[in-house]
Amino acid sequence: MALARSENMEPESLPGMDSLPVDSDVDTPGPRHRSIHLHPGFVVLVMLGGCFGALARYGLSITLPVPGGWPLPTLLINVCGAFALGALLEGLSRRGPDLGWSRFVRLLVGTGFMGAFTTYSTLAVDAMHLFDADRPVAALTYVALSIVGGVAAALFGIWVGAKYHRFVAARNRRVLAITGKESK
Amino acid sequence: MTVLLLALAGGVGAGLRFIVDGLVRARARTALPVGTILINVSGSLCLGLLTGLVAGHYTDSSWGLVLGVGLLGGYTTFSTASFETVRLIQSRRTWFAVVNSLGTVLACVLAATAGFALTLL
């Protein structure tokens, strides 16, 4: 299994490739060599996810309660988003290299949706308002819960993503073992 | 209509974040995620400024929704910042993780306050 994988990682060698001259243009920046953040298609993908992420955040922020002027919606949105991003990125990175379908999902759901769903600027301004209203304890509690909660949620998300990947891999091995026996 | 503009602005903000992060990442020579830090601090500064403008009735509150909740909310991100802190912890760069989490939140609150204060001048 490991051997087959490493063989797949090798670049394909085409017949007659060795006889071709070295391409001197290979390092010049062109459309093929552009980084993904400068690729219009990928930017549009992130923007599309971002539209829905911002909309979802706005919807939740006007629905969830704000107890005593304490910004609970932003805290919940940020912590849930950190969990989801952790699970998504860990699951995708364990699936294989960041190419094709994996990259599509990462940019649309991760960078686009989750990135725009969660927000740092509102957190900063909410904390500023609480400090400004002479509520330093409320402000510090809010900031501390956001930071600790965000890191804990991302960590938990990464754990869930890894667990899910192992579960799927084990199931695939079982299926492979069964179909392998049947073919003999 | 405002909600539609808010969603579109959120998309623009997310696209902007993707490009800025990529440009900074290509030039940065540190394990610290300076792209995300720069994005969150600059976005907080702008939201502080916008909040001050809306509070002082210099601009309409629907602009506050479209540009504040939409554009700047989509531009700045909390999930990526938290995720990057965990990655720093996992790679045993504890001090970078502390700087990334506490440093960013401190810088963002100060930036938002500075932006707000600019409108009071």
Give residue A180's pLDDT. Answer: 77
B-chain CB neighbours of A124 within 8 Å are 40, 44, 47-48, 105, 108-109, 111-112
Q: Could you tell me what percent of chain B has a pLDDT over 90?
A: 93
Q: Is A42's Cβ below 8 Å from some Cβ in B?
A: yes
Rounded CA separation A107/A96 (Å): 15
pLDDT in tens, A130-148: 999 999 999 999 999 999 9
Give residue A34's pLDDT. Answer: 62
Give residue A21's pLDDT. Answer: 45
Rounded CA separation A147/B113 (Å): 19
Cβ separation of B48 and A50 shorter than 8 Å?
no
Helical ranges in B1-118 per DSSP H: 2-27, 34-55, 61-63, 73-75, 79-90, 94-98, 104-118
B85 is in an annotated binding site: no
Cβ separation of A115 and B101 shorter than 8 Å?
no
pLDDT bin (cut points 50, 70, 90) of residue A179 is confident
In total, the C-beta contacts within 8 angstroms joining chain A to chain B are: 203
Q: What is the mean pLDDT of chain B?
A: 96
B73 is in an annotated binding site: yes
DSSP class per residue in chain A: -HHHHHHHHSPPPPTTGGGSPP-TTTTS--GGG--GGG-HHHHHHHHHHHHHHHHHHHHHHHHS--GGG--HHHHHHHHHHHHHHHHHHHHHHHHSSS-HHHHHHIIIIIIIIIHHHS-SHHHHHHHHHHHHTT-HHHHHHHHHHHHHHHHHHHHHHHHHHHHHHHHHHHHHHHHHHHHHHHH-
Rg of chain B on CA atoms, in Å: 15
Cβ separation of B13 and A150 shorter than 8 Å?
no
Q: Is A159's Cβ below 8 Å from some Cβ in B?
A: no
Does residue B55 carry a pLDDT above 90? yes
Rounded CA separation A62/A47 (Å): 23
Rounded CA separation A97/A122 (Å): 34
What is the extent of the structural domain holding A168?
A: 39-175
Q: Would you say B21 and B84 are in contact if contact means Cβ atoms under 8 Å apart?
A: no
pLDDT in tens, B4-19: 999 999 999 999 999 9
User: Per the structure, how many domains does chain A have?
Assistant: 1
Six token digits for residue A107: 């940019």
B-chain CB neighbours of A131 within 8 Å are 109, 113
Determine how many CB atoms are found less than 10 A away from the CB of residue B33: 24
B-chain CB neighbours of A153 within 8 Å are 82
In a domain, A68, yes or no: yes
In a domain, A86, yes or no: yes
A-chain CB neighbours of B13 within 8 Å are 50, 54, 116
Least confident range from A27-31, A174-178, B112-116: namely A27-31
Six token digits for residue B83: 């995720």
Of B6, B79, B111, the CB nearest to A115: B79
Q: What number is the ipTM of this complex?
A: 0.95
pLDDT in tens, A88-122: 999 999 988 888 899 999 999 999 999 999 999 99
Q: Which residue of B has its CA nearest to A107?
A: B18
Rounded CA separation B43/B81 (Å): 14
